[in-house]
Structure 1
Amino acid sequence: MTLDVSLEPAAPLLARLAGLRERTAALVEHRSAGDPTATDPLRGLYLSEEAVRYLLSPAPAPAELPSLDEDFPDRLAELGARLRLTHLDTAILLIALAPDLDRTFEPLYGYLNDDVGRRRATTGLALDLYGVPAHLAVARARFHPTAPLTALGLLTVEEPERPFLSRSLRVPDRVLSHLIGDDTPSANLTATLREASADGWPHGGSPTDSPPADGSAPDRMPADGPAHGGLSHADPPHGGLSYEDAGADGDFVRRLAGRIAAGPLFAYLRERQEGEGQGCAALALRLAGVGAWRCSVTGEELVPELLREARLSGRALVVEAGGDPAPLVRALGTAAGDVTVLVTAARPYDPQWCDHRDPLVLEVPSRRATALDAWTAALPAGPGFDLAATVAPYHLGGDRLARAARAAQDLAAFDGTPLAAAHVRLAARQQSASGLEQHARRIRPAVDWRDLVLPERPLTELRELASRARHRDRVLGDWRLSAGGGRGRGVLGLFAGESGTGKTLSAEVVAAELGLDLYVVQLSSVVDKYVGETEKNLERIFSEADRTDAVLLFDEADAVFGKRSEVKDAHDRYANLESAYLLQRLEAFNGIALLTTNLRANIDEAFTRRLDLVIDFPFPDEEQRLALWRHGLAHVPSTGDTELRPLARDFELAGGSIRSAVVTAAYLAAARAEPVTAADLLEGARREYRKAGRLVPGAW
């Protein structure tokens, strides 16, 4: 099969090269006319007497060469217009890339360079072929490191140790690939760069609505209104909410889109929740009609390649700054004057990061108000469960919400069942995985309210705690009942009661009710003997918990949240400093934290005042103990003569001890390969009394 070259994207560029070949041939003919070494196969490798006399003779008059300024409808012309390159710049690019597309240029360039081994264009050869004197300052300046060709990463001037006119020119492979129609990013960026998408926003468009494959950007929306056939802020793309319906979110996106449409913008978007800035930027770019690349970067090493990719494709960059944003922001601020770059990060912007040009610093509004609409748009219409109650505990941002929605549908398909709340919760938890496991033990809740045997009052308060966690954004945010002063929207609860009364189990049930994971803080990873280290460890935990949808449990919280004491020595002073830090950090906390203690009086009153709920777990009475025995034996095979009332009456055990007694009885029965008997349960209860150092009741 014969390939029709005329249909190739490189065809116009090859036609342009034909004109360059004609010009090169004319220059070769002019040079060789009076050159006595023109036919010498070793020309350029040595100097004969004739060659020396020829070089010392007056230079021949410049030749009349065919023009290189003819306009061609190719990517080189488009790139030159987009980056505002001069005709000389585009000609230099063409001359430099010619040997990479047509091997016949190599020997011609070798002859014109007076060195058969130098088969690439040089600065002097480029000026000769264009027809400008080599001593012209404005022409030589086109090769300067700050000139557009080199500063934008389109051309590399090699061999700086050589005289200026004999320095080789090279066009990077990625630039050449773009000019012949290949839009694949360079290998260094394939793992980092991806299409920016507004998925996860209620009016973000479909995943398939991406910028044109040829790298061109869609029509932009002018600053004073939408482009012809574009979108207005009152007409949501792809049928979502209108931007007015989105409230502050929509107004922010609309204003950002107008600023992007007005020209290149360098902005720093500070996000409160991970992913909010990415989604907001993607939506604004889509509304402005500007294609974009999205990437996650932790340093400035890839900045030149990222900016070059954006320039070649005519797209903007949405950069998620990881780690310390300072080097990245500084590098982008120095080099990104002609490209729209939106940097998203959680850290506040510091003016010290940039030497001259500060970005436009914006606070991204929380999109919690529209999160339900985003879930509704991402999931099939009409789910058979209460979607609002299911997704209320989650604060996924950016494409993580869309990924969670897709994962939930995949889980439902795997189970062969309709989409259920459990699928959504599991998928959302997977997207909320965090670094908390470095400091806390992760528990995947496998219990529910049926596993709690408690009086009515603590049960009611536990349900209220779950309700507060679910509706805190509406009450504290939409209804503006936050106390202000930088206070967060966290939910804080204290569980107080004797050991074994169900405090930790209740925390697990609350987490299960909310569809979240429970992280039990390991005090050994928090408390440190060195001054200030405990606070640092706690800050890491709180910061990670702020950005993670999870329930944080401080078991045996007395060790960290104990009462402050009178300062008598340095130890008291530093202990009080830890408490003061915790008081401040709890007020700014945005997550869900639960504290347990065996003795409520040990907790500082200042902590108690900042808690939303203090739930007392009483020691179970006889009826509750009977219910606990029955619950513990619900799945255990036992003989029909097992009477539990005497055990509940005679042995005053808490729920944790009753469970241990049942476990002991089960092991005794399993060793005999028989069901659990009343004697086994009696032995288990007696062992719990002995462990506690209590007098064992007599046989009955």
Structure 2
Amino acid sequence: MGAHATHEPATAAAPGGGTPLTTEIHRVLTRVDTHAARVARDTANPDGSRTERGAGDPGAAHGAGTGGTGTDVVPAAPQSAALDALVGCFGLTPFERDVVLLTAADDLDPTTAARCAAAAGDPQRAHPTFSLALAALDDPHWSALTPVAPLRRWRIVELDDPARLTTSRLRLDERVLHFLLGSPYLDARLHGQLRRVPVPQTLTPSYDLAASSLAEGWTAGTGSDAPLVQVTGGDQRSRTEIAAAAAARSGLGLYSMSAEDVPSDPVERDRLARLWQREAILLPAALLVEVGELDRDQRAATEAFLAGAAVPVVVSSEDPPRSERSYRMRVTVPRLDDDEQLALWGEAFEDVGDLDDGELRSLVAQFQLPPHVVRSAAAAVRRLLPHEDEQDAAGLAWRAGLDEARIGMDELGRRIEPQAGWDDLVLHERQTSVLREIVAHVRQRATVHHEWGFAATLRRGLGVTAMFAGGSGTGKTLAAEVMAKELGLDLFVVDLSQVVSKYIGETEKNLRRVFDAAERGGALLLFDEADALFGKRSEVKDSHDRYANLEVSYLLMRMEAYRGLAILTTNMKQALDTAFLRRIRFVVDFPFPAEHERAEIWRRVLPPQAPVKDIDPGLLAQLTVAGGSIRNIALSGAFLAAEEGGRLQMRHMLAAARTEYLKLERSLTPTEVRGWV
């Protein structure tokens, strides 16, 4: 059965002024009239010497040859292109072709009912039946009506009553009738399950090459192979666009469905498979099956559905699905290099404001967005630019990139829109200078890596990685927020204690989801509680220790390859294996603040407009707590003062400090509160 047949609507004129299809129908109805004449003669001369079997006797068909004397034969006229396609694609015999024409006549020719009744010798049978077809048409064979023969297997012709094979009314499927008339469309029974995929207007060069590879997989395979190809990686829209372009190059349309919609019931699944295979041939078209996270039963149903594929199918998934199935071609959505990204951003923003080459390169250095997302960002800037007074095109483009890059990240971590600046940090100059150096590495990576050529010579470990080590509340997260604001990025905090799984392989899977989403750009990744994953694991005692080493190695590998900035935080630097520390580019220690630093934190944490009375930051600095606890005490004291309706005083701070110390399981000492009240 050919899967790539093409056809044109039946519009060519035939001799006598009719179309080829109507001429073919006329020929078949003439055969019915001839048989009706024989039935009439038999009825008029029941005792005549010539005896013929009636239309109701299927035995008349066996050995019928060409169906009568030479005077009964009507030469075949040229067929319509659609009828040719139907016959060729489904392998119909001449008899089966004429059955199709007879049933089409029932819908198209108003005289058919009377002619069928006359041929059957029964006014109640004013419609096509298989017994009439066996008796009246050329080269009849009983096997044409078996469930496995093309007419019923592909639901070309249907029986009103399958229990009465020879006398039941035969109907041409409506979809097939419209196909013969030159009006192809997707069968209404597939609406809601399948969606038409438009062909993309343009593709980047690497996507274009991937589409060509997929198309070759459909056209270069052998007849014994299932016409299955696979595209993985990237996002769903990119995979779909590549598949649609591949289908178009193979002369096919493309429809898509989710693997979740494949029926688990075998009967329903077989019905869907046959119906789609028929549609794929009639349209013609390929099918894209989007495979996501499936349970065992749904995965088995999808595998069974794909196993019966006799027409082009492309399996789309983020990761290669676990399957032993043979694919003619496997394609991974390629990562766009910087030149392709630059061309993509330049084309998308060509008519948007004045973006110079340097601004475009900054966007390319930060964001790794699929082509359709870049175009969406450009469309957003076009809408906003006429109404925006504060930001220029470059600023709006950066903001649009951030908005698009956030998609898929919020469910993986806690997003913080940074507000804090360098003045909010109270650190030694030594630590502050390292933080500024990290910012410079991120901001200038496009210049150093690509314009200066370091990416070609170093090749690996180009990601900017850092570790912030220090006790709780010493300013690690605040420092990350300050850096994110300086870089114009979101801060995503990922709790590693929630990512680590006791099940082998799940930790890497969770980490991969985080990094894959973050690769779009627009995020500074902060992995909190690294101690949940790191430790002195160099001594392998069992398989779990060995696998823990693999998890750590995977995390460091992804951090080193990450385009943005990835930071780990730990409370126990001394517990980390030095071999792991060597793979981190920057290590910043956040010491417990000294008393003068605590006093400065107290000054900065109290807002100027807050009503205070006799608040002394120097006395408050006697509390041996880090910046996080200082903020908690200041806020709690403010609520206590507001509840009283007065000004914030040292006694409110004392009450709040007692509450904070209870949380820390500590007791206030007389030295810490000397001179407060």
Give the alignment's TM-score, normalised by structure 1.
Answer: 0.69
CA separation of 1:331 and 1:116: change in aligned 2, threshold 3 A:
farther
Residue from 661, 669, 686 that aligns with 2:641: 669
| 8 A Cα contact 1:28 1:108, kept in partner | yes
1:26 paired with 2:30, answer yes
Residue from 405, 408, 432 that aligns with 1:429: 405
Bigger CA drift: 607-616 or 258-267? 258-267
Q: 1:166-565, aligned counterparts within 5 Å?
A: 170-180=171-181, 182-187=183-188, 188-190=190-192, 192-198=194-200, 203-204=202-203, 243=205, 266=227, 268-275=229-236, 276-283=238-245, 288=249, 290=251, 292-298=253-259, 301=269, 303-323=273-293, 331-332=305-306, 334-336=308-310, 339=312, 341-348=313-320, 352-354=324-326, 358-369=327-338, 370-379=340-349, 381-383=351-353, 386-390=359-363, 392-397=365-370, 399-406=372-379, 409=382, 420-421=396-397, 423-430=399-406, 432-433=407-408, 437=411, 440-450=412-422, 452-453=424-425, 454=427, 455-460=431-436, 462-463=438-439, 466-467=442-443, 479=456, 481-483=458-460, 492-508=465-481, 513=487, 515-516=489-490, 518-521=492-495, 523=497, 526-527=500-501, 532-533=502-503, 535-549=504-518, 553-564=526-537
Instruction: Count residues in correspondence.
Output: 609
SS at match of 1:32: helix
SS at match of 2:254: strand
Between the aligned partners of 1:54 and 1:181, the Cα distance in structure 2 is: 34
Which amino acid is 2:317 matched to?
A
Give the alignment's TM-score, normalised by structure 2.
Answer: 0.71
Bigger CA drift: 408-417 or 182-191? 408-417
1:367 CA displacement: 1.9
CA separation of 1:598 and 1:54: change in aligned 2, threshold 3 A:
closer
1:496 CA displacement: 1.1
Between the aligned partners of 2:182 and 2:155, the Cα distance in structure 1 is: 16
Between the aligned partners of 2:124 and 2:401, the Cα distance in structure 1 is: 66
Which amino acid is 1:32 matched to?
A
Between the aligned partners of 2:423 and 2:128, the Cα distance in structure 1 is: 80
1:608 CA displacement: 2.7
Residue from 590, 596, 616 that aligns with 2:589: 616
SS at match of 1:561: coil
Q: 1:677-692, aligned counterparts within 5 Å?
A: 680=652, 684=656, 688=660, 691=664, 692=666
Which amino acid is 1:600 matched to?
K
| 8 A Cα contact 1:494 1:614, kept in partner | yes
Which amino acid is 2:68 matched to?
A
Between the aligned partners of 2:602 and 2:97, the Cα distance in structure 1 is: 86
Which amino acid is 1:131 matched to?
D
Q: 1:618-697, aligned counterparts within 5 Å?
A: 618-621=591-594, 624-634=597-607, 637-639=609-611, 645-647=617-619, 649-673=621-645, 676=648, 680=652, 684=656, 688=660, 691=664, 692-695=666-669, 696-697=672-673
| 8 A Cα contact 1:124 1:134, kept in partner | no
CA separation of 1:83 and 1:376: change in aligned 2, threshold 3 A:
farther
Q: Percent identity?
A: 26
| 8 A Cα contact 1:520 1:555, kept in partner | yes
| 8 A Cα contact 2:538 2:577, kept in partner | no
Which amino acid is 2:570 matched to?
T
| 8 A Cα contact 2:420 2:478, kept in partner | no
SS at match of 1:638: coil
1:698 CA displacement: 1.1
| 8 A Cα contact 1:665 1:684, kept in partner | yes
| 8 A Cα contact 1:633 1:662, kept in partner | yes
1:364 CA displacement: 4.1
CA separation of 1:626 and 1:272: change in aligned 2, threshold 3 A:
farther
> Residue deviations 1:194-243, cap 9 Å, x none?
333436xxx53xxxxxxxxxxxxxxxxxxxxxxxxxxxxxxxxxxxx7x5
SS at match of 1:545: helix
Gaps of 5+ in 1: 1-8, 41-49, 205-240
CA separation of 1:617 and 1:54: change in aligned 2, threshold 3 A:
closer
1:428 CA displacement: 0.9
CA separation of 1:191 and 1:326: change in aligned 2, threshold 3 A:
closer
1:600 CA displacement: 0.8
Between the aligned partners of 1:166 and 1:469, the Cα distance in structure 2 is: 80
Radius of gyration: which is bigger? Answer: 2
CA separation of 1:682 and 1:83: change in aligned 2, threshold 3 A:
same
SS at match of 2:478: helix
Between the aligned partners of 2:386 and 2:121, the Cα distance in structure 1 is: 70
> Residue deviations 1:368-399, cap 9 Å, x none?
43234323333453556634434544433364
| 8 A Cα contact 1:496 1:600, kept in partner | yes
Between the aligned partners of 1:656 and 1:179, the Cα distance in structure 2 is: 76
Q: 1:563-582, aligned counterparts within 5 Å?
A: 563-564=536-537, 573=542, 575-582=544-551
Between the aligned partners of 1:171 and 1:473, the Cα distance in structure 2 is: 67
Between the aligned partners of 2:207 and 2:449, the Cα distance in structure 1 is: 15
1:497 CA displacement: 0.7
Bigger CA drift: 541-550 or 658-667? 541-550
Which amino acid is 1:134 matched to?
H
Bigger CA drift: 365-374 or 176-185? 176-185
> Residue deviations 1:456-512, cap 9 Å, x none?
1342254257459989996999637444xxxx9876543211110122334455566
1:538 CA displacement: 1.6
Partner of 1:61: 68
Which amino acid is 1:19 matched to?
T
Partner of 2:577: 604
Between the aligned partners of 1:414 and 1:263, the Cα distance in structure 2 is: 55
Which amino acid is 2:404 matched to?
A
SS at match of 1:344: strand
CA separation of 1:612 and 1:189: change in aligned 2, threshold 3 A:
farther
| 8 A Cα contact 2:342 2:361, kept in partner | yes
RMSD: 5.1
Between the aligned partners of 2:277 and 2:524, the Cα distance in structure 1 is: 41
Which amino acid is 1:669 matched to?
A
> Residue deviations 1:308-328, cap 9 Å, x none?
444333445555443468875
CA separation of 1:424 and 1:266: change in aligned 2, threshold 3 A:
farther
Between the aligned partners of 1:169 and 1:477, the Cα distance in structure 2 is: 75
| 8 A Cα contact 1:368 1:395, kept in partner | no
CA separation of 1:353 and 1:448: change in aligned 2, threshold 3 A:
farther
Residue from 535, 544, 552 that aligns with 1:583: 552
CA separation of 1:35 and 1:110: change in aligned 2, threshold 3 A:
closer
Which amino acid is 1:311 matched to?
I
SS at match of 1:614: strand
| 8 A Cα contact 1:69 1:87, kept in partner | no
CA separation of 1:22 and 1:93: change in aligned 2, threshold 3 A:
closer
CA separation of 1:347 and 1:259: change in aligned 2, threshold 3 A:
closer
